[in-house]
Amino acid sequence: MTKSAEAFLEKSDEKVFDLDHRKTINHNIGKYNVAVERGLSKFENLEQSKKKAHVIKWRVMENLDKFLPEFESNFQKRGGKVIWANDAEEAQKEILNIINKAGGKTVIKSKSMTTEELHLNDFLENNGIESLESDLGEYIVQLLGQPPYHIVTPAMHLSKEEIAKLFHDKFGTPIDATPAQLTQKARELLREKYLQADVGISGANFLVADTGSISLTENEGNARLCTTFPKIHIAIAGIEKIIPSMSDLDLFWPLLASHGTGQSLTVYNSMISGPRQADETDGPEEMYVILLDNGRTNLLAQKDQRQGLYCIRCGACLNACPVYKNVGGHTYNTTYSGPIGSLITPHMQGMKEFKHLSYASTLCGKCSEVCPVKIDIHKMLLLNRRDATAEHDNTKTEDLGWKVWKAGMTKRSRMDMVGGKVKNFFLKNLFRNIWGKNRSNPEVAPKSFAKLWDEKNKGKA
């Protein structure tokens, strides 16, 4: 078993019996469910919208080699610069070069999961550059020294009382401060940072090929400040974020908002098509888009599982997943948690190290049901399991165990060669730890049903 798998099992065992954690998550996801049900009811034909989005993303992935150069060409026409990064290390190096070239010392960031892939805050800090999150949820987990807990709501695992205590310890606010007061305090602390920052860094929800634009969706307005005040704006986007046309946002913006937070549209939706133009009064003097691969082409090469690249990062599958709701986001120990993380991480970071995530699923199909772009997630997880077995990424002990199990299960007489006492011995001594210390051990009957049937009907015609 890999270290990642061991850590996952250990952390899961701890979290599923943490009642305070479960109470907080169930409360927050419960509020999400109410909002999303209301948001989805506003679609005339939700199923048709999801099918259309699926087809658009299919078309993009089948023609990625055409859409990405189209985006690059159109973005460069407006004075922007495009950098292609094969992996996290390359992207880190390019970002550092841009900042050092400008003599920058401070960075203000908007919410971005791709920067989490790069572990960008830690990297910049190690190179003497201050990097500050401006999204309230991201800011809270940064103060705690934690990664985001959830794709959309980074601080979902914290209650308002825990956040109030954090602000009290860090900034001296009242221990019983309300969410509104805490938000106001964060606003006061961050506003000056926008004006002082040398570089603003953002992600991109979508890359629009026909206009060479990046699309940002948010609810706090912090992304607009990050991309407007600093003299340099760096946007980091996975290569799968491309969509063909500006008109496609008419479909994707409502799908993302309704499945992510239950809104008809997020509060702020921005289109940025390069640095400040001669006739414009605000915006950065320089703008870069870093197109990040970081394992995405490995997934693209998997004809059966490349659907994973259709994801628009709405987080709906996490909120629907019974495993995620019990073990929590940090247990996965990956940038992308929940069902979609379990699907894409083995291809992006290595099947051998992360194949265990494909088994962190009940295969109930709820993730596939709620996906706004109709990714067949639970089927993809089964295909990951198939590939892990075919590539012999399982341990020798696991392979041997399955061979013995298969030999027994394919013939009833072989199963009956071993009595109930022996089977119970093996269950008690070999499978106890796997079954879990909080479950009662299953008890095998002394004789199988087939044997009892034979004995009862012996001698009868």
Single residue among 294, 326, 356 that ends a domain in this structure: 294
- Res. 302 pLDDT band, cuts 50 70 90: very high
Find the domain containing 197 and state its range.
42-294
Is the pLDDT at 333 greater than 60? The verdict is: yes
| Mean pLDDT value of segment 341-365 | 94
Joined together, the tokens standing for residue 288 give 């870069």
Q: Are residues 98 and 224 in the same domain?
A: yes
Q: State whether 79 and 214 are in the same domain.
A: yes
* Average pLDDT of span 191-198: 91
Sheet holding 130-133, edge to edge: 81-85, 286-292, 232-238, 199-202, 106-109, 130-133
Residue in 173, 178, 190 with CA at minimum distance from that of residue 136: 190
Per the domain annotation, does 125 fall within a domain?
yes
DSSP-derived letter for residue 330 is: G
Q: What percent of the chain has pLDDT over 90?
A: 78
Pairing of strands 268-272, 213-218: antiparallel
**First vs last C-alpha separation in the chain:** 52
Q: Tally Cβ neighbours within 10 Å of residue 17.
A: 11
109-157 tens-digit pLDDT: 999 999 999 999 999 999 999 999 999 999 999 999 999 999 999 999 9
Residue 66: give its domain's CATH number: 3.40.50.10420
| Lookup: tokens for 327 | 């073990």
Residue with tokens 């059966």: 304
pLDDT digits (tens, 9 = 90+) for 311-321: 999 999 999 99
Answer yes or no: is pLDDT of 452 > 90.
no
The predicted pLDDT at position 459 comes to 63
Question: Where a domain ends, among 262, 294, 326?
Answer: 294
Kindly report, residue by residue over 287-297, the tens digit of the pLDDT: 999 999 999 99
In a domain, 33, yes or no: no
Q: What is the pLDDT confidence band of residue 258, given thresholds at 50, 70 and 90? A: very high
Cα–Cα distance list, 183 to 75, 163, 221, 424 (Å): 36, 11, 13, 58
Q: Which one-letter DSSP state was computed for residue 248?
A: G
Would 123 be classed as within a structural domain? yes
Q: In this structure, are residues 92 and 100 in contact, taking their beta carbons and an 8 Å threshold?
A: no
- Decide if 398 is inside a domain: no
Q: What is the pTM of this model?
A: 0.89
The pLDDT of 326-340, averaged and rounded, is 95
Choose between 41 and 420: higher pLDDT.
41
Last residue of a domain, one of 294, 317, 341: 294
* 202-216 pLDDT tens trace: 999 999 999 999 999
Residue predicted with more confidence, 181 or 400:
181
Q: Cα separations (Å) of 190 from 216, 225, 358?
A: 20, 10, 40
Does residue 247 lie in a domain region? yes
pLDDT above 80: residue 439: no
The total number of structural domains that make up the chain? 2
Q: Is the pLDDT of residue 461 over 60?
A: no
Q: Does a structural domain hold residue 5?
A: no
Asked if residue 400 belongs to a domain, the reply is no
- Does position 259 have pLDDT exceeding 90, yes or no? yes
Tokens of 237: 């986007």
Task: Find all residues with CB under 8 Å of 408, minimum gap 6, and list them.
Answer: 414, 415
Domain assignment of residue 211, yes or no: yes
pLDDT mean across residues, the chain: 92
